Amino acid sequence: MNYERIKEKLNILADAAKYDVSCASSGSKRTNKNKGLGNSSGMGICHSYTEDGRCVSLLKILLTNYCIFDCAYCVTRKSNDIPRAAFKVQEVVDLTIAFYRRNYIEGLFLSSGIFKNADYTMERLIAVAKKLRKEENFNGYIHLKSIPGASDALMREAGLYADRLSVNIEIPSVEGLKLLAPDKKRNDFLRPMEKVKNEIIQYRSERKIIKNTPVYAPAGQSTQMIIGAAGETDAEIMYNSAYLYKKYNLKRVYYSGYIPISYDARLPSIGTNVPLLRENRLYQTDWLLRFYGFDIRELLSKEHPNLDSDIDPKLSWALRNLALFPVDINKADRGMIARVPGIGLKSVHKILQARRFRRLHWDHLKALGIAANRAKYFIVCDAPSFETKDRTAAQIKGLILQESKHKFRGMLNGQLNLFDPVTPMVG
Amino acid sequence: MIKFLIYDGSFDGFLSVVFKVYDERLSKIRILREAQYDHAHTLFDEKEVVQTNVTHAKRVWKTLKQKCSHHGLRLIYKAYLSEIAGSEESMLIFIQKQLKASSPISQNYSDPDILRLSKVVKMVDREKHRLDAFVRFRQTKEGVYFAVISPDFNVLPLNISHFKHRYADQKWIIYDLKRKYGIYYDLVRVEIITFKFDPGALSPNVGYAEEEMQFEALWKNYFKSTNITSRKNTRLHHQHVPKRYWKYLIEKRP
């Protein structure tokens, strides 16, 4: 192995891959076979965290950053003057195995610029995964990119070796896509997604009948949207997500605040802040959809197209629906308790367990970890004292903000303008 | 007067203490490990050293198995592994409450004693998970993958299954410098081992395979290139990777 050359390539191709925020290594069902290497049947593990606080779980690299496309938001776009490199299939295999054996990583995340054409690129990605599985008996986690426009036959093969497949929507709206990535069509993203979804369903049903049917993309599919590059509202982004979750059974949608990498006039200029707070609010909304039983229409609408920046989306929903509160902690069902601001799913579980033994009062609730400063306006429990005053939503919001320390407080004022309607785009 | 019961620090030792407490109907006691006793307590308290008795321990465990849920048994064992002073008393209170109760109580989070115990266990679980993540193997000249750590709690026994299933085709050792023992997988089974020398003092360049330094350099490089400087968030970084682990993390070493 020529370590110097590998090092150069790794620098270029890891640097180019880092804007893809997906890092999950959980949710697969691949167990160690025949005393081979690796196991990805348990929960995901973050082996390290970069200085930006993001998890390092997989060796995340591009096979190459040569690309025939010229998408404005992408650092590897054809017109960008940057050093280019390409890994050989065997090099990626060796690097993955060496890192995995030392417990640096959970597996491989392999993406690629598109060279020659979609199928040719997809074939190379599959070759890496196939080699890892067949020759190295590697049972770690493999996340492959579905290359937009790749053929159905290749997508079918990819799922046999990969745990997760993903294709990035990147730009949520059709108009935005036309403007920033004129070479790509929305349908190119959706077609491989559709194919993989159908294969997953088919393999699952076959597995019920024939036990040794191979697993097919056991960790499902994910996608990513760039936030703040093309001027979409939060509603546009999240309705897109809700649709993708439902239509394609996606496991995850990632939101990546746009990091300015270009002087292109169509995009926020270099030096613009990354919209971290907005990203955070979108993830909160995403969690409400997936785990807290919310419907997107409850959280965002035509009248309410953007999320509040100063309070979280659950609190914001509760303030719009004060008629549903207060909730009796000792009687309400799981779903309703989960809708109380300041009570997360872990607390919901503890409350349900604890109340089998006795009626709960404030001390219990505080001890088991609810955020009482928010929750107290929305619940009653086994206690004589309550927040009984009839307060308006604005009053409650004011009181909560007064009492709470905001993680993004420093950023809040500076970023508020990002939530205002964005000026119409050029063109 | 409070009576101090001293045990040898083994799990069977603790269960022997429980047996004694029931057998002699003791109350007003405190339970300490041998190692904890010397510097912590006055001359005037009554103390008794409890000999570990495997038969007694087995009887206690058998009774607990009948009364506790799996969750409850894990609660006791993991709290034991925490080695936190005073956790033995919490464990004893839990056992006493459980033996009186008619159904499993390990998830009664309205009980302050059980809540406290489950918080200790949560810390142990988190440390176990951190170990799964932060162990960094180095390949020795003999081809064994070797790692040293010094976890806050005695979590190594909880990690065995994870590493055994993951690295089934390579020999490996994970050595706990603080507690001076390690686990060794020889391609068939995992054994507890101890060293006569201090493996922490091994210089990184001696005894390791030639390509080891190369792969470490590559990993450090990767770690740097995958960072996005415009998103720098030092607080979050430190929260996820507390500084006390840095000395074992190749990517965090200078």
- Transcribe A193-235 into DSSP letters: HHHHHHHHHHHHHHHHHSTTPPP-STT-EEEEEEESSS---HH
* pLDDT mean across residues, chain A: 90
Q: Residues near B118 by Cβ (< 8 Å), separated by ≥ 6?
A: B75, B106, B109
Predicted pLDDT of residue A422: 40
Kindly give the residue spans of alpha helices, DSSP state H, lying in A64-215. 89-101, 118-134, 152-161, 174-180, 186-209
Q: How many CB pairs under 8 A join A and B?
A: 156
Predicted pLDDT of residue B207: 81
CB B163 within 8 A of CB B172: yes
Residues in B 55-114 with any Cβ partner in A closer than 8 A: 105, 107-112
For residues A370 and B42, the model is more confident at A370
Report CA torsion sign: B192, B196, B198, B203. negative
Which residues of chain B are within 8 Å of residue A275 when distances are taken between CB atoms?
none
User: Given an 8 Å threshold on Cβ–Cβ distance, is B108 in contact with A353?
Assistant: yes
A76 pLDDT more than 80: yes
Helix (H, G, I), strand (E, B) or coil at B44: coil
Residue A391 burial (10 A CB sphere; 0-12, 13-18, 19+): middle
Predicted pLDDT of residue A427: 35
Measured distance CA(A56)–CA(A105) in Å, rounded: 8
For residue A382, which phi and psi values (nearest 5 degrees)?
-80, 75
Q: Which of A49-53, A258-262, B1-5, B57-61 is modeled with the greatest confidence?
A: B57-61
Strands (E) located in chain B: 3-7, 29-33, 46-49, 138-139, 145-149, 172-176, 181-185, 190-193
The alpha carbon of residue B106 is apart from the nearest alpha carbon of chain A, in Å, by: 10
The alpha carbon of residue B212 is apart from the nearest alpha carbon of chain A, in Å, by: 9
Q: Identify which of A7, A19, A355 has the shortest CB distance to residue B221.
A: A7
CB A132 within 8 A of CB A161: yes
pLDDT tens-digit readout, B37-92: 765 556 667 889 999 999 999 999 999 999 999 999 999 999 999 999 889 999 99
Residue with tokens 């470490």: B216
pLDDT tens-digit readout, A331-343: 999 999 999 999 9
Considering the entire predicted model, what is its pTM? 0.91
User: Given an 8 Å threshold on Cβ–Cβ distance, is B137 in contact with A355?
Assistant: no
pLDDT tens-digit readout, B139-163: 998 899 999 999 999 999 999 999 9
User: Given an 8 Å threshold on Cβ–Cβ distance, is A50 in contact with B223?
Assistant: yes
Buried b (16+ CB within 10 A) or exposed e, A180-209: bbeebebebbbbbbebbbebbeebeeeeee
For residues A117 and B36, the model is more confident at A117
Assess B229–A contact: CB distance below 8 Å, yes or no.
Answer: yes
Measured distance CA(A293)–CA(A406) in Å, rounded: 26
User: Given an 8 Å threshold on Cβ–Cβ distance, is A37 in contact with B233?
Assistant: no
Strands (E) located in A320-374: 327-328
* pLDDT mean across residues, chain B: 91
- Segment A314-341 shows an average pLDDT of 96
- Nearest to B150, CA basis, from B189, B193, B184, B179: B179
Which residues of chain B are within 8 Å of residue A368 when distances are taken between CB atoms?
109-110, 115
CB B5 within 8 A of CB B33: no
User: Given an 8 Å threshold on Cβ–Cβ distance, is B237 in contact with A51?
Assistant: yes
User: Given an 8 Å threshold on Cβ–Cβ distance, is B136 in contact with A103?
Assistant: yes
Assess B234–A contact: CB distance below 8 Å, yes or no.
Answer: yes
The alpha carbon of residue A177 is apart from the nearest alpha carbon of chain B, in Å, by: 25
Assess B140–A contact: CB distance below 8 Å, yes or no.
Answer: no
- Segment A220-237 shows an average pLDDT of 92
B47 forms bridges with which residues in the sheet?
Answer: B4
User: Given an 8 Å threshold on Cβ–Cβ distance, is B251 in contact with A6?
Assistant: no
Predicted pLDDT of residue A23: 83
Helix (H, G, I), strand (E, B) or coil at A307: coil
Kindly give the residue spans of alpha helices, DSSP state H, lying in B138-246. 156-166, 210-225, 234-240
pLDDT tens-digit readout, A143-176: 999 998 899 999 999 999 999 999 988 888 888 8
Which residues of chain B are within 8 Å of residue A259 when distances are taken between CB atoms?
228, 230-231
- Segment A34-40 shows an average pLDDT of 90
Q: Identify which of A1, A18, A39 has the shortest CB distance to residue B166.
A: A39
Sequence ranges of chain A with CATH classification 3.20.20: 3-237
Q: Identify which of B162, B218, B228 has the shortest CB distance to residue A3.
A: B218
Helix (H, G, I), strand (E, B) or coil at A128: helix
A64 forms bridges with which residues in the sheet?
Answer: A86
Q: Tell me which DSSP letter residue A41 carries.
A: S
The hierarchical CATH code for the domain A3-237 is 3.20.20
The alpha carbon of residue A3 is apart from the nearest alpha carbon of chain B, in Å, by: 7
ipTM: 0.93
Q: Identify which of A19, A257, A357 has the shortest CB distance to residue B110.
A: A357
Q: What are the tokens at B99?
A: 């033996």
Q: In Å, how far from its chain's centre is CA A81? A: 29
Q: Identify which of B165, B226, B232 has the shortest CB distance to residue A56.
A: B226
Q: What are the tokens at A319?
A: 């303030």
The alpha carbon of residue A274 is apart from the nearest alpha carbon of chain B, in Å, by: 7
Taking CA atoms, what residue in B is nearest to A366? B110
Q: Domain-by-domain residue ranges, chain B? A: 3-126, 135-252
The torsion angle over the Cα atoms of residues A312, A314, A319 and A321, rounded to 10 degrees, is 160
A112 pLDDT more than 70: yes
User: Given an 8 Å threshold on Cβ–Cβ distance, is A368 in contact with B221?
Assistant: no
Measured distance CA(B242)–CA(B254) in Å, rounded: 16
Taking CA atoms, what residue in B is nearest to A273? B230
**Start-to-end CA span in chain A (Å):** 50
B182 forms bridges with which residues in the sheet?
Answer: B175, B193
The torsion angle over the Cα atoms of residues A299, A304, A306 and A307, rounded to 10 degrees, is -40
User: Given an 8 Å threshold on Cβ–Cβ distance, is B168 in contact with A32?
Assistant: yes
User: Given an 8 Å threshold on Cβ–Cβ distance, is A53 in contact with B112?
Assistant: no
Q: Identify which of B215, B221, B227 has the shortest CB distance to residue A102.
A: B215
